[in-house]
Amino acid sequence: MLLNLPLQASNQSPVSFWIMMGLLMVVFYFFMIRPQQKKAKDARKFRESIQKGTKVVTIGGLHGRVVEVSDKTVLLEVDTNVKLRFEKSALAMDNTMQLTEEVAKASS
């Protein structure tokens, strides 16, 4: 009986194989590609909305307040009279956004 299983499986229609592959691609799209695109869109929107005075966190974990904004860079004040220039792509999130995420994790 177990020896007949591979023979039975090989008699399946190739159409069912392609249907399963198509369904697998749809699942990959909705669970992997689409959320990644949404996250990239949100990050782009955040970087475009940065203004002077916004408190941000860099991808390296450095906290600072935006002092100056140019096309591709921002000047952050990380301490009194300590200013560092970063690429906008190095900014991870708004500091208030981080606090909101921490509260959400603590409540769940």
> Looking at the predicted structure, is the pLDDT value of residue 2 above 50?
no
Q: What is the pLDDT of residues 37-74, one digit of tens each?
A: 998 898 889 888 899 999 999 999 899 999 999 999 99
Got the DSSP string for 65-82? Answer: EEEEE-SSEEEEEEETTE
Average pLDDT of the segment spanning 87-99: 78
What are the CA-CA distances from residue 50 to residues 4, 17, 22, 31, 81 (Å)?
65, 49, 41, 29, 21
Taking the C-alpha atoms of residue 27 and residue 104, their distance in angstroms, rounded to an integer, is 27
Taking the C-alpha atoms of residue 18 and residue 14, their distance in angstroms, rounded to an integer, is 6
Of the two residues 3 and 81, the one the predictor is more confident about is 81
Q: What is the pLDDT of residues 67-78, one digit of tens each?
A: 999 999 999 999
